[in-house]
Structure 1
Amino acid sequence: MRYMASYDLMESIRNTNQWLGASALAIASYPAFSMFPNPSLEWMAAWGEVTERTFARMVMKPDWNIPPFVGANGQDRLVSIEKEIEGAFGDLIHFRVQGRTEPKRKVLLVAPMSGHYATLLRSTVISLLPDCDVYVTDWHNARDIPVSAGKFDVEDYTLYLVDYLRHLGPDTNVVAVCQPAPLALAATAYLAEEDPAAQPRSLTLIGGPIDPDANSTDVTDFGRRVTMGQLEHFMIQRVGFKYAGVGRKVYPGLLQLASFISMNNDTHREAFVEQINRVARKAAQEHDRHNKFYDEYLAVMDMPAEFYLSTVERIFKGREIARNVFSVNGRKVDIGKITNVAVKTVEGAKDDISAPGQCIAALDLLTGLPQSKKASHVEPDAGHYGIFAGRSWRENIRPLVLDFIDANSGGSGAPKQVKNAANRNAKSA
């Protein structure tokens, strides 16, 4: 599979389906057909509209679309996006709130590099902005990165986080979502030995595979079933001639999307059939619930092959983080060296990707951290997405995370702890 032809074939299939959808919509919308109304033509147009939109979104990076929010003085606070640090494989971006004068909690949201763009955390960013100064790791699509930029594996990812934390300073509160949780923990441990003054103030790990064997899922079972040779042969392809990263070995986002969908195939099929019916009945809207979800879910990015393979081999198969034997540039990173960074884990009781038990395993590795600086929370009835972007996040988890940050602020000018979430929002600037 490691050929440009297979990558281009996959893109051709996607492009063809997008064209078929557009053609069906155009044919069914032909004005002359309006003289003889036909339900089958209306359904054909609806199928074409949904199909074209679906396959077009697979190669589009979504916009952040961060809306303004109302400040304490009643004025709208506009939000602009600025690049703090630019890199070949990712940027550190800052959501600057115009007109804000009061210092807010500085939060670094570490986005996953697992097939989706950092915009998957859009709703998380929106919910934090009234109370926090938010920075996000914005990873690039590997197909757009020239081969000359070199490799990017789990060690490079960790060092990117180290550079970001050094830049932001010790008053930073890290919130790592899903895949980067073990690497955010490793980056903090790396700084504990190499540059203690640059360690973050707190570290919140949300639904991450610290110890994948603590509670197995389909994801961890897959990692155990296949060999690294099989993964490299069947999952890795070279970027085709259409993109700047031509020749780079990647794990294609379209393959990742196919695996995502296969895990809940019936649910996705029913969702699209229902959406087609709604479009045919003229009951669908541009920004309805279906489009809002799938515009983000279907927008996938390629991962560097080195990152994908090293994640499977070292984090899942070798359990290097769970066994505390992870190394960077040949030097062991000892998680037990973390002694003054408050750490909180968050898990969803119904998470079928990083099941309960996988993330909380981090607390047992922190042998040098006092119990008073450790915390954990399991959100009942919450799945993987809900613990960082859904109702469970907004109503329960977000207030707990902010309270945890405040409780470990060290009295250095951070906002005072507010127990009531509604009061906290009212005090926001």
Structure 2
Amino acid sequence: MNLLAYPVYQAVADAMRPLRTSATLQRAVLAAWPEFAASPLGRSLDAAWELLEMAGLSHARPPFGIGSVEVEGEPVEIVEEVVRRTPFGSLLHFRKAVKTPQPRVLIVAPMSGHFATLLRGTVRTMLADHDVYITDWHNPRDIPLSAGRFGFQEYVEHVISFIRKIGPDSHLVAICQPTVASLAAVSLMAAADDPAQPASMTLMAGPIDCRVNPTKVNDLANSKPIEWFEKNLISVVPSGFKGAQRRVYPGFVQLTAFMSMNANRHATSFADMHYERAKGESAKADTIRTFYEEYFATTDLTAEFYLETVSQVFQQYLLPKGELMVGNRRVEPAAIRRTALLTIEGEKDDICAVGQTVAAQELCSRLRPYMKTHHVQTGVGHYGVFNGRKWESQIYPMVRSVIHDNEPRSVRMPASATSAGAEQLSLHAMLEAEAISKAAMASAAASSSSGAA
């Protein structure tokens, strides 16, 4: 365990705080002198101070900031409310008053160094047609040791608890890392014949089977034994925080690892922000800044959750090998028979490559074929699967269609909620119609043969 990493980082962050505060003040003074601020030199100084202002991380969750959404052509106010809270996470409900009941959906957010607000765009898109809940994980550095441990088992138990709180016939959408825990949760619920089993489960860009098309992330996880990760990457929360002395995988380490994978792209983004700000193109600079304000809001991971995930998911491949245990219960996806499955992958995903998520289709071997759907989205990387233009125009209509097709008839979405792309029959409906048609033809043929005889 690296006892110095976190304290040293915090000392550097504390030392940088006055410089960043000074840069903020300099920008404010400059803004109060509009004639100079609008000059080439003024814009250049403002751009430079902005880079210094952003030279640090935040460890507090940013707001979702979704005040309202349009539902059936009318703006509807969104009110955030916590409907279940534990020391490690909250079940957050985006409550809204609508005339027609909407499908209840739990979005399971990753616990991978960023807050659930990284999925703000995903939530905003889904809110128009769904009653949305999300797993809002807390920062371990703010959780006292007295709260106990939080490992892979506790993660799965939280997902099950949240699903039960939302109630039967809800839907689950898991993005990236939690696809494994979510599949495990639904498998255990199915094995126990839990009445709260979700009606559908969407797994997006997740490491269900990392043996398929290994990426740099997978190679890194297998480059060292798990003891190396514990010795070199695990640190303790320094004094001065509620979670002091808790063993964690620091968020700043995770962010550094992510950024190093695309260092040139990030450097270019900051250079572009400086250039656009100095040129006077504030809108373009603001877009880049908004992204990095969210990206630089980091959260730690408990040591047990991080090490168990690396070991069980990325090194031992326990789920696809049929060896994953949650407590004393074996995870058997074949137990799932009532929950429709949609898996989605991105063609250019360099974190969870094509083939890793679709592995869930084979694991859920007792699901009828018409209850399984898979989609590979061309032209998108990891984040493009759940954010951006292609998510909204091509991926989301499919997610919505699967949820709609598996809703109890009493709470089906109104026809007006479907887009032009979603108006076509889903694969589920097409296969079901085909099966009915074949059965009818077989029956007719049998009747004809009987009559001829």
CA distance in 2, matches of 1:326, 1:268: 37
Divergent runs of 4+, >6 A: 27-31, 34-41
Aligned to 2:125: 127
Aligned to 2:352: 354
Superposed CA offset, 1:73-101 (max 9, x none): 74x3110001111011001010001x313
Aligned to 1:50: 51
CA distance in 2, matches of 1:86, 1:310: 24
Q: Residue 154 of structure 1 aligns to which amino acid in structure 2? A: F
Structure 1 residues 316, 80: CA separation in 2 closer, same or farther (over 3 Å shift)?
Answer: same
Q: Secondary structure at the match of 2:195?
A: helix
Match of 1:180 among 178, 181, 190: 178
Percent of aligned pairs sharing the same letter: 37
Q: Residue 95 of structure 2 aligns to which amino acid in structure 1? A: R
Structure 1 residues 42, 24: CA separation in 2 closer, same or farther (over 3 Å shift)?
Answer: farther
Query: How far apart are 1:204 and its partner, in Å?
Result: 0.4
Aligned to 1:144: 142
Structure 1 residues 45, 19: CA separation in 2 closer, same or farther (over 3 Å shift)?
Answer: farther
**Is residue 7–residue 237 contact of structure 1 (8 Å, CA) maintained in 2?**
yes
Q: Does 1:320 align with 2:318?
A: yes
Match of 2:340 among 339, 342, 348: 342
Gaps of 5+ in 1: none
Structure 1 residues 128, 28: CA separation in 2 closer, same or farther (over 3 Å shift)?
Answer: closer
Superposed CA offset, 1:46-76 (max 9, x none): 2222221341x533321100031234474x3
Aligned to 1:65: 65
Q: Secondary structure at the match of 1:136?
A: strand
Aligned to 2:85: 86
Q: Residue 377 of structure 2 aligns to which amino acid in structure 1? A: E
Query: How far apart are 1:282 and its partner, in Å?
Result: 3.5
Q: Residue 16 of structure 1 aligns to which amino acid in structure 2? A: A
Query: How far apart are 1:39 and its partner, in Å?
Result: 6.8
Aligned to 1:389: 387
Structure 1 stretch displaced more, 268-277 or 305-314: 268-277
Structure 1 stretch displaced more, 353-362 or 331-340: 331-340
Q: Residue 367 of structure 1 aligns to which amino acid in structure 2? A: S
Aligned to 1:8: 7
Match of 1:330 among 318, 328, 336: 328
Q: Residue 340 of structure 2 aligns to which amino acid in structure 1? A: A
CA distance in 2, matches of 1:115, 1:227: 22
CA distance in 2, matches of 1:30, 1:372: 63
Query: How far apart are 1:244 and its partner, in Å?
Result: 0.6
Structure 1 residues 116, 25: CA separation in 2 closer, same or farther (over 3 Å shift)?
Answer: closer
**Is residue 238–residue 250 contact of structure 1 (8 Å, CA) maintained in 2?**
yes
Query: How far apart are 1:30 and its partner, in Å?
Result: 7.2
Structure 1 residues 219, 73: CA separation in 2 closer, same or farther (over 3 Å shift)?
Answer: closer
- Taking the TM superposition and a 5 Å limit, the aligned residue runs for 1:94-133 are 94-97=93-96, 99-133=97-131
Structure 1 residues 36, 183: CA separation in 2 closer, same or farther (over 3 Å shift)?
Answer: closer
Structure 1 stretch displaced more, 408-417 or 224-233: 408-417
Q: Which has the larger radius of gyration?
A: 2
Structure 1 residues 247, 175: CA separation in 2 closer, same or farther (over 3 Å shift)?
Answer: same
Aligned to 2:265: 267
CA distance in 2, matches of 1:393, 1:120: 14
Superposed CA offset, 1:308-359 (max 9, x none): 0000001111111111211111221211111121011000000000011000
CA distance in 2, matches of 1:404, 1:25: 47
Query: How far apart are 1:289 and its partner, in Å?
Result: 1.2
TM-score for the superposition, normalised by structure 2: 0.87
**Is residue 17–residue 52 contact of structure 1 (8 Å, CA) maintained in 2?**
no
CA distance in 1, matches of 2:254, 2:325: 27
Match of 2:225 among 205, 227, 230: 227
Q: Secondary structure at the match of 2:304?
A: helix
**Is residue 163–residue 198 contact of structure 2 (8 Å, CA) maintained in 1?**
yes
- How many residues align? The count is 419
Structure 1 residues 418, 149: CA separation in 2 closer, same or farther (over 3 Å shift)?
Answer: same
CA distance in 2, matches of 1:379, 1:217: 18
CA distance in 2, matches of 1:140, 1:244: 12
CA distance in 2, matches of 1:390, 1:111: 17
Q: Residue 15 of structure 1 aligns to which amino acid in structure 2? A: D
**Is residue 29–residue 45 contact of structure 1 (8 Å, CA) maintained in 2?**
no
Aligned to 2:436: none
Q: Does 1:299 align with 2:300?
A: no
Superposed CA offset, 1:206-229 (max 9, x none): 000000111110000001101111
Superposed CA offset, 1:370-396 (max 9, x none): 111111000000111011111111000
Aligned to 2:192: 194
Query: How far apart are 1:404 and its partner, in Å?
Result: 1.0
Aligned to 1:162: 160
CA distance in 2, matches of 1:375, 1:28: 52
Query: How far apart are 1:407 and its partner, in Å?
Result: 1.8
**Is residue 21–residue 47 contact of structure 1 (8 Å, CA) maintained in 2?**
no
CA distance in 1, matches of 2:67, 2:104: 20
Q: Residue 260 of structure 1 aligns to which amino acid in structure 2? A: F
Q: Residue 90 of structure 1 aligns to which amino acid in structure 2? A: G
Gaps of 5+ in 2: 424-453
Query: How far apart are 1:36 and its partner, in Å?
Result: 10
**Is residue 72–residue 417 contact of structure 2 (8 Å, CA) maintained in 1?**
no
